[in-house]
Structure 1
Amino acid sequence: RLATREPHIRQTTLEEGNAWIDLAAELQVPVVRFFAARNPPEMDLESSIQVVGEMLALLSERARESRIKIGVETHDEFASSRSVARALAFAPSDVAGAVWDMWHTTRIGESPAECMQQLGDRLINVHLKDARRTADGWQLVLLGEGDVPVEEGLRSLNAMGYDGYISVEWEKKWHPEIAEPEIAFPQYMRVLRTYLERGVAE
């Protein structure tokens, strides 16, 4: 986990993170995603933001040598694009950036415009999935059937000039009740093509 002040955990995280970066370089994978992880009980969010940023700065050294980019995802306690942006302020390297998961920022009430304002040119990867609000939380659904403003998000990315990867996610392993990937992925591709045809993205 990135959010810790424990010296032995920080060292282990750095060693494991560097190993993942080395593997990415060997496999020619351009981006390695990191979770900030949940806040340890002894740390508040403010402290976690600084510690995560410091860890990203350390990992950036190996990433630069390997010509790999590293990103922290808008997820868990760091679902807010503002929290991610503040952590990245401690890691000014151009190889460290943000992985924007549209669903998680939507869950906490952030709009695509707000996310673009916070993350801007630090954005290096995008995770895309749709979900519908329910009485007891959220349900992952096929693209266009939920409440995640995917089309608005793609328009914001296009307006900003984003030219990185957009990764479609389908979390069947953790949500066994949702449609099979053989159904979901082709459907997502069909809908995304209609967005392209309408000029939502390039």
Structure 2
Amino acid sequence: MRKPSTLNRRNFLASTVILPFLNYKKNTPKLCYNTMACPSWNFKQIIDKAKVYGFGAVELRCYLDQRDLFNHPDFSATNIPSLKRIANDNGVKVLMLNSSTQLHHREPKKRKQHLDDAKRYIDLAEKLETPFIRVFPDKLLGDDPLGPILSGLQTLNDYAKESGVEVLLDAHGDLVDSNQLLSVLQTTGNRLIWDQFNMYKKTGEATNSMVKTLQSKIAVAQYKDGLIDTDGSFHYTLPGKGQFPIEPVLNALKSINFKGYLSFEWEKHWHPELANPDIALPAFVRYINS
């Protein structure tokens, strides 16, 4: 696995084969945002703000005081029709429910807990008519590091078979090498949440190389910007203020005729010091259209 080198905007762009510059307003992917950006917003605020700021979809991750959506009364069976009506009336899609499921666990009790949580997300997504849930790989351990991940995906695929819900694997943790990801996805038939920033931090792989390898396996693309120090530590910045310009991402997605959503991740839930969502979310839309 390649080690990332010190990065600035110029050599990042140079590391990526730039296709002809896009007319972004006409050709940019549909826009989504991850609700880690707005830990204090309720469902109506999440949807209303998406409409105001120009997002066609949201991916739900945590909710108010709960890590798992199914633990909050707003997502109880009696409230589901109201949530669907709020989203439909505003023309905003609930694209994905983001679980915290980690597939690498081997200890039976812990493994069952993680898989059971993912199944609860599949059930909730079916009721919400949400097409995707997210799971983490997450670590590569032992003599057969991919074994638990492969079997976990197959278990969840079997469970989701009649639900209309697709289980997506996040490029996260130790499983971020594009060739290794492709091997897993080809084996199980799943698709990917492509997180360019997360993959680059560990592999140093150029954006076009990732997309060329993964191509049709990319179901959702995520974008965030930030600065990576020489010691490997990093911090997030507003879009366009860090070392990860959007142009290579958009051009790479254009090269594979990507028709899915580009989702903005702003991790205020984990990093309270970050700017508020009413600053970060419109900043992303302006940056895309600039």
TM-score computed with the length of structure 2 as normaliser: 0.60
Distance 1:117 1:4 in 2: 30
Shift of 1:15: 2.4
Is structure 2 residue 199 aligned with structure 1 residue 105?
yes
Assess if the C-alpha contact under 8 Å between 2:220 and 2:261 holds in 1. yes
Distance 2:145 2:273 in 1: 34
Distance 1:117 1:139 in 2: 27
Assess if the C-alpha contact under 8 Å between 1:50 and 1:87 holds in 2. no
Q: Secondary structure at the match of 1:177?
A: coil
Shift of 1:149: 4.1
What is aligned with 1:77?
174
Distance 2:214 2:150 in 1: 14
Assess if the C-alpha contact under 8 Å between 1:102 and 1:150 holds in 2. no
What is aligned with 2:287?
191
Q: Percent identity, aligned pairs only? A: 29
Is structure 2 residue 188 aligned with structure 1 residue 91?
yes
TM-score computed with the length of structure 1 as normaliser: 0.83
What is aligned with 1:200?
none
Is structure 2 residue 222 aligned with structure 1 residue 127?
yes
What is aligned with 1:21?
122
Which structure 2 segments of 5+ residues have no match? 1-101
Q: Which among 38, 43, 46 is matched to residue 139 of structure 2?
A: 38
What is aligned with 1:117?
212
Which structure 1 segments of 5+ residues have no match? 195-202
Distance 2:112 2:271 in 1: 33
Distance 2:219 2:155 in 1: 18
Distance 2:147 2:247 in 1: 33
Shift of 1:88: 1.8
RMSD: 1.9
Shift of 1:176: 2.6
